[in-house]
Copies of this chain bind each other. A is one copy, B any other.
Amino acid sequence: MTTLTAPTPALRSRTDTGLPARLARSAAAREGAHLATGDFADWLAARGRANRFRVDRIPFTALDGWSFAEGTGNIVHRSGRFFTVEGLHVTHDDGSRREEWYQPIIKQPEIGILGILVKEFDGVLHCLMQAKMEPGNPNLLQLSPTVQATRSNYTKVHKGADVKYLEYFTDPRRARVVADVLQSEHGSWFYRKSNRNMIVEAVGEVELHDDFCWLTLGQLGELLRRDNVVNMDSRTVLACMPFDGDPGHALHSDAELRSWFTAERSRHDVVAERVPLASLPDWRLGETTVSHDQGRYFDVVAVDVQAGSREVARWSQPLFEPVAPGVAAFLTRDFGGVPHVLAHARVEGGFLDTVELGPTVQYTPGNYAHLRGTDRPPFLDLVLAAGRDRIRYEAVHAEEGGRFLNAVSRYLVVDADAVEAPLDPPPGYRWITPWQLSSLVQHSHYVNVQARTLLACLDPGTGRPR
């Protein structure tokens, strides 16, 4: 006698315990199976020559498809899609001090996909990266993830070409997921924007298209040491790679760390309300800019774009242009032989949930030039004055070139000592290991985009700058 039963489905291990070591092996590979690291600059330059790019500043009146909406003065596209530039009114009370400000903000509610396809060659994981023009990039062409698609992109609002390799990120039969998490973007410039950060490992062969190349994590680590090469979308996705070699110990247990984070989130009372762009006190509309009365923060500007390698050949759009370069830095110290970085629970008006962990220092120094003494942002002067012998990592990176024009920051990891950066730091700051940070990045709303850039610049095997 036989009993008819359904076949027992195979269970999977909750965690892929082999994956972190494979990623660490890729991070240790300074050369790849396809493109030699030494040939990368020539390859990128050739891709630039193969495509025609041109970006010109234009007055708002010359924008095609964009206009100031009646009543609000918000900058909107005639399709109702893409994004809008609106106003934001933020009040923030941290329990001891209340502040309030108005600013322009980009509202782009739709969730895009930023995805890196990975695949083993010669037993080493390689990432499929793309040479991609974005109008706001200082050098136009940078290295982007395999896929960088807004929902408008892949639902064809702009009537452009298909997004290459998108099927690997939407069809589970084509690839196995390594990481997939919604991450916030710049809370000072975006209203509650998040993108889906995905890493998937291809099943089977992958066709190689023009403008794409396979690179190991070690090669990408090398390129991350160069200025303005690896774009922000690549950096935030790379930050989602699980770390390896966790020593398992830290100054604070994970439960203590989450408790501190919960207390920080509860301590800050943030109310962010969208208001008409035309109503913002301290901001004025000109022919070519919306700018702050004291010349601080950023301008809203307009550009005309001509491109040969993008989905459509010509378009115009608004961009945010910071008035000066920023600086974003982690202070770092070893405790008991384990590297820690000093995270800052930051309020940014556009965050969905109050605070996220940012670098120790994240400022545009020019905006604070008028402040003195204890009014100066904590640790900023320490970072600005750090000598070469203290700087473990340094490079200039640009923020998302599709929305931000020349939004460059100097990213640093700086050694600190017990006097400058004590074990028991000021309220809002906490020592955390790169492995703890890497665990938190697997979930939404914990780590901001600048801290994720710095995390991407750490070696996922050692937790130290590459």
Q: A164 on the interface (CB 8 Å rule)?
A: no
List, in ascending order, chain B residues with CB within 8 A of A13's CB. Answer: 248-249, 253
Q: How far is the CB of A158 from chain B (nearest CB, A)?
A: 19
Interface residues of A in 151-187 (CB under 8 A from B): 177-182
Q: Is B181 in contact with A418, judged by CB distance below 8 angstroms?
A: no
Contacts of A11 in B (CB 8 A): 249-251, 335-336, 338
- For A112, the closest partner residue in chain B by CB is B266
A266 with B14: CB separation less than 8 A:
no
Interface-side segment among A226-234, A369-377, A440-448, A453-461: A440-448
- In the complex, A177 Cα to B111 Cα: how many Å? 35
Shortest C-beta distance, A169 to chain B (Å), equals: 10
Q: Are A12 and B181 in contact (CB under 8 A)?
A: no
State which of B255, B338, B352, B436 has its C-beta within 8 Å of the C-beta of A177: B255
Q: A109-B269, A336-B9 are in contact. Are A14 and B258 (CB under 8 A)?
A: no
| Nearest residue, chain B, Cβ from A19 | B255
Contact with B along A409-451 (1 / 0, CB 8 A): 0000000001000010000000000011000001111000000
- Determine how close the nearest CB of chain B comes to the CB of A4; give it in whole angstroms: 11
Q: Would you list which residues of chain A between 310 and 362 have a CB under 8 Å from chain B? A: 335-336, 338, 352-353
A177–B256 touching, CB < 8 Å: yes
* Chain B residue at minimal CB-CB distance from A353: B352
A259: CB under 8 A from chain B?
yes
Contact of A182 among B251, B265, B271, B335 (CB under 8 A): B265
For the complex, give the distance between the alpha carbons of A253 and B262 in Å: 27
A208 interface contact, C-beta 8 A? no
Complex CA distance for A338 and B11, rounded to whole angstroms: 9
Do residues B177 and A14 form an inter-chain contact, with CB atoms below 8 A?
no
CB within 8 Å of B: which of A280-313? none
Q: Could you say which of B16, B196, B259 contacts A180, with CB atoms under 8 Å apart?
A: B259
| Interfacial chain B residues near A253, Cβ < 8 Å | 12-16
Contact string, A104-123, partner B, CB cutoff 8 A, digits 1/0?
Answer: 00000111000000000000
Q: Which residues of B contact A1 (CB under 8 A)?
A: none
Known contacts A196-B262, A445-B445; decide if A249 and B418 are in contact (CB<8 Å): no
Q: Are B442 and A258 within 8 A (Cβ)?
A: yes
Judging by beta carbons under 8 Å apart, are B182 and A266 in contact? yes
**B181 contacts A258, CB within 8 Å?**
yes
Q: In the assembly, what is the distance between CA of A266 and CA of B109, in Å?
A: 10
Chain B contacts for A418, CB-based, 8 A:
6
A252 at interface by CB-CB < 8 Å = yes
Query: B442–A178 contact, CB under 8 A?
Result: no
| CB within 8 Å for A14 and B444 given contacts A182-B265, A196-B266, A255-B178 | no
Shortest Cβ gap from A64 to chain B (Å): 27
CB interface residues, A 54-78, toward B, < 8 Å: none
Are A14 and B248 CB-contacts (below 8 A) given A6-B418, A9-B423, A418-B6? yes
Point out the residues of chain B lying under 8 angstroms from A353, CB to CB: 352-353, 444-445
CB distance from A455 to the nearest CB of B (A): 17
Cα A182 to Cα B258 in complex, Å, equals 10
Kindly list chain B residues whose C-beta atoms are within 8 Å of the C-beta of A266: 111, 182, 196
Q: Of the candidates B6, B109, B180, B263, which one forms a contact with A263 in the assembled complex, judged by CB atoms under 8 Å apart?
A: B180
**Residues A262 and B15 in contact in the complex (CB < 8 Å), given A8-B335, A251-B9:** no
- Does A100 touch B at the CB level, under 8 Å? no
| Contact of A254 with B by CB under 8 A | yes
Question: Is A222 engaged at the interface, CB distance under 8 Å to the other chain?
Answer: no
In Å, the complex CA distance between A445 and B178 comes to: 22
In the assembled complex, the CB of A130 is this many whole angstroms from the nearest CB of chain B, namely 22
CA distance A263 to B246 in the complex (A): 29
Q: Can you list 9 A-B contacts (CB < 8 A)?
A: A8-B335, A9-B423, A12-B250, A13-B249, A14-B246, A14-B248, A15-B255, A198-B259, A353-B444
Listed from nearest, the 3 A-B pairs whose CB atoms lie closest are: A180-B259, A11-B249, A177-B259
Known: A8-B335, A8-B336, A14-B248. 12 other contacts (CB 8 A): A6-B423, A9-B336, A10-B336, A11-B250, A11-B251, A13-B253, A15-B253, A177-B256, A177-B259, A196-B262, A198-B259, A444-B445
